[in-house]
């Protein structure tokens, strides 16, 4: 595989077959362009969606990706880094030390690869609107941006673009709005 093709794949979501575990948190997978290492890969022998994140020093070992979900939408076609937004549901059982989870806490349950920031959508008691908080390494900022502003912020680079919600009812309108803007919402599966 040439370097141009590798660059085109960076940040993309692909369907890969998980072939075998190579360590507790890593598996070997196979996809249209060859083999790849899959961080948190599970369900050996089954297909999963994987986000291609970076390339190792030795191309003979293949690309590196992160497990996204084993729930593959019917008719799924690979998506470039500009064609999708990842969504995740923060369940009550998931631990966070403050009002909002940190990037490190998010990566314990959902690890799509290289994250520099993400949005956390939570309920706002007494107000008929959700709170949209930008979480980044070392802190957070609540500003309640529009959906367009959230998309613009998340798609500035090839890093993982993820929106996390506290409840389905908060996420459903956002998922529909993302679809209306021509992007594909991909729902992440928790790692644990």
Confidence class for position 58, pLDDT limits 50, 70, 90: very low
pLDDT higher at 169 or 190: 190
pTM of the model: 0.90
The residue among 37, 69, 101 that closes a domain is 69
Confidence class for position 47, pLDDT limits 50, 70, 90: very high
Q: What is the mean pLDDT of residues 88-101?
A: 94
Does residue 178 lie in a domain region? yes
Structural domain range at position 158: 84-187
pLDDT tens column, 61-90: 568 999 999 999 999 999 998 899 999 999
Query: Which residue in 80, 102, 103 sits closest to 5, CA to CA?
Result: 80
Judge whether residue 44 has pLDDT over 70.
yes
User: What token pair was written down for 56?
Assistant: 């190792």
User: Residue 29: what pLDDT?
Assistant: 95
Same domain, 100 and 173: yes
Phi/psi at 115 (5° precision) = -115, 130
Same domain, 171 and 115: yes
Judge whether residue 107 has pLDDT over 50.
yes
Does residue 92 lie in a domain region? yes
User: Residue 168: what pLDDT?
Assistant: 87
Query: Which burial class, exposed, middle or buried, applies to 25 when counting CB atoms under 10 A from its CB (0-12, 13-18, 19+)?
Result: middle
Judge whether residue 53 has pLDDT over 90.
no
Strands 139-142 and 13-23: unpaired
The total of structural domains in the chain comes to 2
The enclosing domain of 42 has a CATH number of: 2.40.50.140
Does residue 77 lie in a domain region? no
Judge whether residue 145 has pLDDT over 70.
yes
Same domain, 89 and 177: yes
Phi/psi at 175 (5° precision) = -60, -45
User: What token pair was written down for 1?
Assistant: 């595989």
Q: How far apart are CA 189 and CA 111, in angstroms?
A: 10
């Amino acid at each position: 595989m040439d370097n141009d093709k590798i660059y085109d794949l960076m940040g993309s979501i692909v369907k890969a077959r998980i072939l075998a575990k190579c360590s507790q948190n890593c598996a070997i997978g196979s996809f249209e362009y060859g083999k790849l290492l899959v961080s948190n890969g599970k369900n050996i022998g089954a297909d999963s969606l994987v986000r291609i994140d970076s390339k190792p020093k030795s191309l003979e070992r293949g690309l590196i990706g992160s497990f996204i979900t084993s729930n593959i939408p019917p008719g799924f076609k690979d998506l470039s880094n500009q064609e999708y937004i990842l969504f995740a549901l923060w369940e009550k059982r998931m631990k966070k030390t403050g009002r909002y989870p940190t990037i490190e806490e998010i990566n314990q349950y959902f690890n799509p690869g290289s994250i520099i920031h993400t949005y956390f959508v939570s309920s706002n008691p007494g107000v008929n609107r959700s709170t949209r908080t930008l979480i980044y390494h070392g802190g957070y900022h609540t500003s309640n941006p529009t959906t367009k502003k959230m998309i613009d912020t998340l798609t500035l680079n090839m890093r993982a673009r993820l929106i996390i919600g506290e409840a389905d009812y908060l996420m459903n309108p956002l998922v529909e709005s993302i679809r209306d803007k021509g992007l594909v919402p991909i729902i992440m599966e928790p790692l644990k």
